Amino acid sequence: MASSSSSSSSSSSPQTDTCLNFITHLLKALKDAMMNVFFHDEIPEPLSPASASSTRLKHQVFLSFKGEDTRLNFTAHLLKALKDTGMNVFFDEETLEKGEQLSQALSRAIAASNLSIIVLSVDYASSKSCLAELSDIMRRKDTQGHIVLPIFYHVNPSDVRNLGGSFKKSFNGHGSNRLPQVQRWKTAFAEVGKLKGWHTEGGKFDRPETEYIKDIVEYVIKKLMSGKFKSTSAELVGIDDQKQTILRLIEQEDSRLIGLWGQGGIGKTTLSDVIYNEISHNFENTCFLLNVREKLKKQGMESLRNQLLSELLNQAIHVDTPSIGSTLIQERLNNKRVLVVLDDVNDSDQIDCFGVKHFGDGSKIIVTSRDRQVLKNGGVDKIHEVKKLNDNDSLQLFSTFAFKQLNPAADFRDLSNKFVEYAQRSPLALRVLGSKLYKKSRTEWESEVDKLKEYDQPKISHILRSSYDDLDEVEKNIFLDIAIFFKGTLKKDVEEILSCCYKGAVCGISNLIDKCLLDNTSYNGWICMHDMLEEMGKDIVRKESIDPGKRSRLWSAKDVYQVLKYNKVSLNCIYILFIFHIFV
């Protein structure tokens, strides 16, 4: 931070000498008291690329702000909260305005920090040194992957992106747009507005600032503890803990084949992609086969396997037999320590067909599937169930798509919570719903809330529907019966009733749990199903016929009344009507 005092003269004066003497004595007294004091002259020179990775950075956080706006309120409280966690925060409270150029000391402080927090307040852009500071931060973000976390403090993020509102006047006061430094500042300022951050609007409808500060501190700690200081990504919200769990599995010698199991859209592919990118440099050759299920339908096993072998052996391979019969190819694979991801596998035979047993010692194979039994039958060593997000991460992920920031706008927070509750912590649902609501008015949001329980969400349904389509006929019928009649019913009662209708109903319910079409909590005694799966089931039945009497199942009292009144019921609907009258 740099405050907005006038520039000091470059020449020395008696007052300057007196000030320097005082600071020197004060610095010595503080150090004599064993205090850790930051002093500009002691900031290390920028690290060379060779030594940067091996040397610990001096500061965890660099805090940039406009002194007059927030020094005595928000920024002071944020600084205390960060320091209370033991973080080393660079907080340049005393530096005077130095003009248009960023001081070497401040530039070195930014370089010596893991991440920067920029508190963008109303008059931030009026300070030339603040803009120079911000420009340097954004340059390091683009060239060195420096993490930047903006806080839009009582300002509209769109005004930052578009240089509007009070910022237009501030930039006009800095001179002609043709000046190189002004153009650099504008570009950097607009880029900050595009980043995801926190928007504190103030007013009676907003959250207390203490809640925002708590969220910010928790997020900073999570980023610093991850060990990888990269730019934030919406896709990665809430997966750090699971990533670390899988990395620990990979380090185990007896974990060669690792399965990631979970419902469609829960984040298996994202998680495996993050891990693949993080560890791929440790292997001789790597391959990430995305959407195995879909690709097999289009190009067949032989073609897809040849693609995998070609990438691992660095030459075009053509094997047209059911198995890898060539001894030479097997021996070459045996000499390779490789990393392979097989994404969205739906048949255990596929794992063996890809030839994973021939990969060399130390190889790691990650297989993602919606069916736990596929992983078990495929011989995986360890299975990790990919978990849903917690409530805080769910709201953050939703907000990154609905608002392009890490927290919802104050006057949309109540509605945001409703959408997050409906999505039930499913990353896919949160992304789809958030994207659908971006830049929509509150009236439109309220309309979407009203439709949540009435209409299926097409993009979500497309992913979930593929799991349904893979079921056999008995499993499809069981799924539809549960979606329409038995959600929230005791499992033993459902098994007893459906066993009268289908052979193998108990096994069918177990298979639905393995395929994530029923929640795993069903084992606790109750049948549980995600709301979106319930709505998908109802939508499937609705599309059977425009005439309710020709549908296989009825659940609307209005439809049942009309069908019975006008005697339009079909034979396949009779037993469903019987069940309806028992349970409704």
Q: With contact defined as beta carbons under 8 Å apart, do 507 and 461 qualify? A: no
| Helix intervals (H) in 386-501 | 391-402, 413-423, 427-437, 442-451, 458-469, 473-481, 491-499
Q: Residue 367 phi/psi, 5° resolution?
A: -120, 125
Angle at 426 between CA 422 and CA 429, to 5 degrees: 65
Distance, in Å, from the CA atom of 87 to the CA atom of 65, rounded to the nearest integer, reads 18
Q: Cα–Cα distance between 212 and 504 in angstroms, integer?
A: 53
Between CA 221 and CA 148, with CA 159 as vertex, the angle to 5 degrees is: 25
266 and 386 in contact (C-beta within 8 Å)?
Answer: yes
No. of helices (H) and no. of strands (E), the chain = 27, 10
CA distance 225 to 397: 19
Residues 429, 460 contacting (CB under 8 angstroms): yes
Which runs of E-coded beta strand occur in 343-412?
Answer: 364-369, 382-385
- In this structure, is the dihedral angle defined by the CA atoms of residues 325, 326, 328 and 333, taken in order, positive or negative? negative
Q: Using DSSP, state whether 342 is helix, strand or coil.
A: strand
- Are 379 and 257 contacting, i.e. CB atoms less than 8 angstroms apart? yes
The pair of structure tokens assigned to 221 is 């700690």
- Can 284 be counted among the known catalytic residues? no
Neighbour-count burial of 170, counting CB atoms closer than 10 A to its CB (0-12 exposed, 13-18 middle, 19+ buried): buried
In this structure, how many other beta carbons lie within 10 angstroms of the beta carbon of residue 60?
20
Sole residue written with tokens 């079909």: 570
**413-423 helix and 391-402 helix, angle to the nearest 10 degrees:** 120
What beta strand segments (E) does 513-561 contain? none
**CB-based contact 276:366 (threshold 8 Å):** yes
Residues in CB range of 553: below 8 A, 6 or more apart:
480, 481, 484, 485, 541, 573, 576
**What distance in Å separates the CA atoms of residue 479 and residue 502, rounded to the nearest whole number?**
12
Question: Which residue of the set 45, 93, 97, 133 is catalytic?
Answer: 133
Q: What angle do CA 149, 277, 290 make, to 5 degrees?
A: 115
Q: Give the strand pairing for 113-120 and 89-90.
A: unpaired
Biggest CA pair distance of the chain: 104
Contact 529, 446 (CB under 8 A): no
CB atoms within 10 A of CB 514: 19
Query: Sign of the C-alpha dihedral, residues 302, 464, 518, 425?
Result: positive
CA 482, distance to chain mean position in Å, is: 31
Question: From CA 108, how far away is CA 90, in angstroms rounded?
Answer: 11
Q: Mind telling me the catalytic residues?
A: 133
